[in-house]
Amino acid sequence: MSKQNLDAEVLFSQDVTEKENVKQILNSNEDQVAHSYWNKCLQIIKDNVNTQVFKTWFEPITALKYTDNKLTVKVPSQFFCEWIEEHFYPLLQKTIFQVLGENAKLQYQVVVDENSDNLHSRMIKVPAFKYPPASNQIQLPFADMPSLPESFPTYLNPRYTFDNFVKGESNQLASSAALAVCKNPGTTRYNPLVLYSETGLGKTHLVQALGNAIVRRYKNLRVLYTTSERFTMEFVNSIQNNKQNEFTNFYRSIDVLIVEDIQFFSGKEKTQDNFFHTFNALHQAGKQLVLTSDKPPKELVDVDERLLSRFHWGLIADIQPPDYEMRMAILKKKSEDEGIELPPEIVDYIARHVKNNVRELEGTLVRLIAKYTFDNREMNLDLAKEVVFGITNFEPKQLTVDDIKEMVSKYFKVPEELIVSKTRKHEVALARQMAMYLTKQFTQLSLKTIGSHFGNRDHSTVLHSCQMIDNYLVTDRSVKQSYENLVQKIKHE
Ligand code: ADP
Ligand code: MG
């Protein structure tokens, strides 16, 4: 992976000097301490997540060192550490505090290039952090916040940029509008800019990219990224602490206000009332508002009509799930950014099977890379299938075609004699095709040999059967479910 691919918040390892290098070797004791601390953490984590999650996300992490109350761990990619931060932050934080005390810090080191001779040139360090902090009142000693431009806390995450956002038909309007806004905040027709979509389709990415671009372009503008929940919490706090004036003044001093997930304003009348007035004041002063929601504004319930009607002053744009071509483009871009070139058939396989949203696509890719990097697996279709269907640790060689026949026969309640017979009855044919498919996937046998185990069929019949199942996996939920159940059984065999 090349260094220019990495985001700005990442500290490069050049700052690890030779001296430190030597010191590090002398301090192998510290490494042992780190191992034992991390093992304790793993014990706790193991009790709090399911086995699958533990294997995918925590087992690949290894401890590197422990100094100054800071535990450094190695993770396979930047993606990986962002993913665990996003999904397991509270658990990690609690665990680290429990094992190392409340002032402890966690730092990730990302493996950049396993093949490099120089240990340090293949590592980058990423402090554990989270944007925005859970509450403005709790400052997390855990989080090493990277320094932000000016002293104004924007709560933007610099990882989101327009450069690493893939534009396509499904987000055309939303992304063009966001770009237009970042060039001329407050003065375009897109004020407010309201983006809506189902989860995982890029709302957060786009509005953060917009905020980051404005901060970079207009150094003197105050950009604030927040969520409706955070706004609500701060509002309630301000009432409790008699700080309503400060609250109001603060929000009115902002030039670009980004508020995510406005659906959570639903039913919170007082907060909405305050937000409505903030909205008006900012809009009148020519300040930019950017909002996101998980549904079209007209479907928001218990949200002030006055506020909803204001949205039509600007632009309401939706983001649709990505189509096949865009899923391919996203996978290519993200794997390139990770410094890994995926064979086209793998990109195609994932793009055909992981369809709901970009977050899932990303998750699949992270798991694929983790397995490739840490388990030394070959990058091939079988690995992709395993990752897509969430299977781990099976031993392909130990399984025989007879095991599979038996399992499939029991599962579909079709006698084994029928599976290898000439019968074309649908249930029997399906069981047969499934058994061939699984044999192909979980054994090393050739199509020809597989055919010989299924009533002396020839290799093209086996191939056809496998293609049938491949199609079913995309088009037929119940077949997909059967496949997944069988794979689970194989895994536990
Ligand atoms: P939402 O806020 O709509 O739930 P996010 O912005 O959090 O979705 O997106 C989920 C993940 O997918 C993020 O990691 C984001 O970077 C990524 N993502 C979404 N859309 C795109 C895209 N068009 N190009 C690149 N990455 C994307
Ligand atoms: Mg979001």
Residue range 246-260, pLDDT digits in tens: 899 999 999 999 999
Say if ligand 1 is within 6 A of residue 321 CB.
no
pLDDT above 80 for 434? yes
Confidence of residue 112 (pLDDT cuts 50, 70, 90): low
Is 204 within 8 Å of 82 (Cβ atoms)?
no
Question: Would you state the pLDDT for residue 285?
Answer: 95
Which of 448, 444, 440, 489 has its CA nearest to residue 468?
440
For ligand 1, atom 20, the nearest C-alpha belongs to 202
CB 204 less than 6 A from any atom of ligand 1:
yes
**Which residue's entry shows tokens 């293949």?**
122
* Cα 56 to Cα 33: distance, rounded to the nearest angstrom: 24
Give the pLDDT score at 57.
84
pTM above 0.85, yes or no: no
| Ligand 1, atom 25, residue with closest C-alpha | 165
Q: Taking a C-beta distance cutoff of 8 angstroms, is the pair 386, 348 a contact?
A: no
Measured between alpha carbons, how far is 158 from 88 in angstroms, rounded to an integer? 20
Confidence of residue 151 (pLDDT cuts 50, 70, 90): low
pLDDT given for residue 152 in this prediction:
67
Percent of the chain residues past pLDDT 90, beyond the cut = 56
Q: Provide the pLDDT for residue 117.
A: 43
Question: Using CA atoms, how far apart are residues 90 and 41, in angstroms rounded to an integer?
Answer: 13
Residue 486 has pLDDT above 50, yes or no: yes
Atom of ligand 1 nearest to the CA of 202: 6
pLDDT band for 398, please (50, 70, 90 cuts): low
pLDDT at 40: 92
Q: 450: which 2 tokens?
A: 């597989």
- Name 65's bridge partners: 72
Listed in order, strand segments (DSSP E) in 112-204 are 123-127, 193-196
Q: Relative to the CA of 159, which ligand 1 atom is closest?
A: 16
Instruction: Decide if pLDDT at 43 tops 70.
Output: yes
Name the nearest CA neighbour of 260 among 292, 225, 308, 236. Answer: 292
Nearest bound ligand to CA 319? 1
Give the model confidence (pLDDT) of 120-136 as tens digits: 333 444 445 444 433 33
Burial of 444: CB neighbours in 10 Å, binned 0-12, 13-18, 19+: exposed
Which residue's CA is minimally distant from atom 23 of ligand 1? 166
